[in-house]
Structure 1
Amino acid sequence: MKTNIVILIFFLLSQLGFAQSSRKMIRGQVVNDSIKVENVIVFNTNARTGTITKFEGAFEISARENDTLVFSSLLFKSKKVVITKEDIENEVIIVPLKVFPNQLREVLVERNKTKTPKINSQAEVDKKYFDDKQSSPKNTVMPNYNAIENGVDFVRLYKDVLKLLRKKNPNKKDFTSNINFTEVVMQKIHYSFFTNSLKLRDDEIKLFLVFCENDAKAQSIAKSSTNFELMDFLVGQNNEFKKITALEK
């Protein structure tokens, strides 16, 4: 009898611990005061979870307390947000992103202000979410407000990538809207693969995926590949991408 009681208590405690640690789907919105926010990639670095923001920066992602979300985009500085208990309980979490000081002219920017839900004021959001050294890297040797760590100018890098894409696809004008490949990658590939294996910085991840999307093999890889084949494709694309980055150092 005592043994059964002990087993029952252990089972109940295990269930309680699981309930506290299990992830749930949370809703959020990425915002900016002056630029429409779309197609920002969102990684949960603690789980095999990723997504892309939809209309007006809205997103849904599985998370729990203390998970870290990483946001990467073409127009906005990358950002890391640590999920709190309050975030889990809120109906929507708001994540403001800062525009690169020298905006990327090749990207079509709509000047319509994003509508911000009334659950939090912008002042409250600014106090709650903060940038860290990894989110906003600085080059201490050569001060440059448009640069990312180690002196790589992100705006210049984007222009060089776009120049290469135009050379490969002379009849194509829009290189950023076809996100089918990126959506597959976000479902299958963990954040650590980009940072640890490919050695990409948060600011570079979105640009790298745009670079991959416009490869002739990208769509077929996305439709029929295994995770290993997909990672092998990303490694090959990264070798070419790194050649462009090296020109900026």
Structure 2
Amino acid sequence: MKNFLWVTLFLLGGSILAQDAEENLPVENLKANVVNAQSDMPLESVHVINLNKVIGTITDAEGEFNINASVNDTLYFTFLGFKPQKIRVTNDMFKFGGTKIALTELAYALEEVVVRPYELTGYLEIDVKNLPVNSAYQYSISGLNKSYEAGNKNPGAVTKVLGAIMNPADLLRNLFGKKPQQMRKLRQMKEDDNIRDLLASKFDRETLTQLLQLTKMDIEDILSNCNYSTSFIQTANDLQILDAISGCYEEYKVLNRR
């Protein structure tokens, strides 16, 4: 029993030391190039995100980028029409330079599709009257600076608002309490212009799942329990989703302190 205890303490201590050593790794400027895997041609405007440091950049006309990183950081590359890719930073990438990251084109088999959601005439005054209006009203709780989306898109919102008033901290603790490290990244993500620009152009939640280490289902559950309608969850871009999660998390922190 005593030997078992010593082994456990030894392994635990080694794990803590390894974690501290990883966190204290020096931050250096990493320079590399992104190319098309099929043609070896440089790719411009590829978004590069350091998932550990929560910072981003884009490649220039030569496919080159510079980003602060440490050994063992994970870089996430995303570009329209190409498969997203994750690369682990190694010592060799700093030591030798000239690293090439090759992205693979996505192959789509598309059939001709004619989409006619609404009968539009081309005249603005007439077409505006024919478009459906999203009547997703919002309810607010005084003092929380938070609105709850409702209307015919989210008929249970009133009940959820009342539940939030009665016990709001418990409602959100189950959502965020299990993911404190990921949630702390929200503010960093919102402050980086390159990450915001990327998220504003995306609707697939792929980058968000990588940054927050959450599944798409986790994201939907968070927004649903924060009283966002199904319409918003399905149609908002990734930046709007980020801001919604961030706002809900800030509310959770205020309520949790109370």
Greater relative contact order (Cα < 8 A, sep 6+): 1
Structure 2 length as normaliser, TM-score? Answer: 0.38
Structure 1 length as normaliser, TM-score? Answer: 0.39
